[in-house]
Chains A and B, each alone.
Chain A
Amino acid sequence: MSIILVQVIVGGLLLGAIYALFSSGLTLVWGMMNIVNFAHGDFVMLGMYVAFVVYTLLGAGPLLGAPLAVLVLATLGVIVYFGLIRDIMKGPMLAQILGTFGLALLLRYSVFWWFGANFLSLPENIVGGTFEIAGLRIQASRLLAGGVALLVTFGLHLLLTRTSLGSKMLAVAEDSTAAQLMGIRPDTMQAIAWAIAAGATGLAGALIATFFYIVPTVGETLGIVAFVTVSLGGFGSVPGALMAGLLIGVIESLSAYWIGAVYKDMVVYSLFLGFLWFRPQGLMGKT
Chain B
Amino acid sequence: MKFKHILGLLCAASMSVILAGNASAQDKTVKIGGIFPLSGNAASTGVHTKAALEVAMDIINNAHPELGNFPLAKNAGLAGLGGAKVEVVFADNQGSPATGQNQALRLITEEKVVAITGAYQSGITLTASAIAEKYGIPFLNGESVAANLTERGFKWFFRTTPIASDFAKIYFDFLRDMKAAGAKTDTVAMVHDNTEYGTSVATVITNVFKANGQSAPIDIAYAANATDVQSQVLQLKEKKPDVVIMISYTSDAILFAKTMQALDYKPAMLIADDAGYSDPSFIKAVGKISQGAFNRSSWSVGPAGSPTALIAEMYKKKSGDEMDDTAARQMQGFFVLCDAIDRAGSTDPAKIQAALKATDLKPDQLMMGYKGVRFDDKGQNILAAGVMIQLQDGENYVTVWPKANAEKAPVLPYKGW
Contact = CB atoms under 8 A, between A and B. Distances in A.
Interface in B28-58: 39-41, 43-44, 46-47
A135 B176 CA distance: 35
A130 B221 contact: no
Contacts of B225: 220-221
Interface in A117-168: 117-121, 124, 130, 132, 137, 139, 142
Nearest to B94: A217
B378 interface: no
A12 B231 CA distance: 9
B227 interface: yes
Contacts of B44: 116-119, 215
Contacts of A215: 41, 43-44, 251
Contact of B250 (A4, A112, A119, A220): A119
Nearest to A132: B264
A253 B264 contact: no
Given A119-B251, A121-B254, A217-B39, A253 B228 contact: yes
Interface size class of A (residues with CB under 8 A): 35 or more
Contacts of B254: 119, 121, 213
A117 B263 contact: no
B281 interface: yes
Interface residues of B, number: 42
Interface stretch (B162-170, B233-241, B380-388): B233-241
B202 to A, nearest CB: 12
Interface stretch (A236-244, A259-267, A272-280): A259-267
Contacts, number: 119
Nearest to A14: B230
B131 interface: no
Nearest to B282: A119
Nearest to A217: B41
Contacts of B39: 109, 112, 117, 217
Interface string A78-118: 00000000000000000000000000000001001000111
B209 interface: no
B223 A261 contact: yes
Given A119-B254, A130-B262, A262-B223, A256 B40 contact: no
**Interface secondary structure of A, over-half rule:** helix
Interface string B191-221: 0001000000000000000000000000011
A216 interface: yes
B261 A130 contact: yes
Contacts of B280: 118
B285 A119 contact: yes
B229 interface: yes
Nearest to B252: A213
Nearest to B37: A117
A137 B261 CA distance: 10
B316 interface: no
Nearest to A211: B258
Contacts of B284: 118-121
A35 interface: no
Residue with the greatest number of chain B CB neighbours at <10 A, chosen from A11, A15, A116, A117: A117
Contact of A221 (B41, B46, B230, B232): B41
Contacts of A109: 39
A260 B229 CA distance: 11
Contacts of A142: 262
A220 B194 contact: no
28 contacts: A4-B238, A7-B230, A112-B39, A112-B43, A117-B43, A118-B281, A119-B254, A119-B279, A121-B285, A124-B261, A124-B262, A130-B264, A139-B262, A211-B258, A217-B41, A217-B43, A221-B41, A221-B225, A225-B227, A252-B228, A252-B231, A253-B230, A253-B231, A256-B222, A256-B231, A257-B231, A257-B234, A261-B226
Interface of B: 39-41, 43-44, 46-47, 194, 220-223, 225-232, 234-235, 237-238, 250-251, 254-255, 258, 261-264, 279-282, 284-286, 289, 417
Nearest 4 pairs of A and B residues by beta carbon: A261-B222, A256-B231, A117-B43, A121-B285
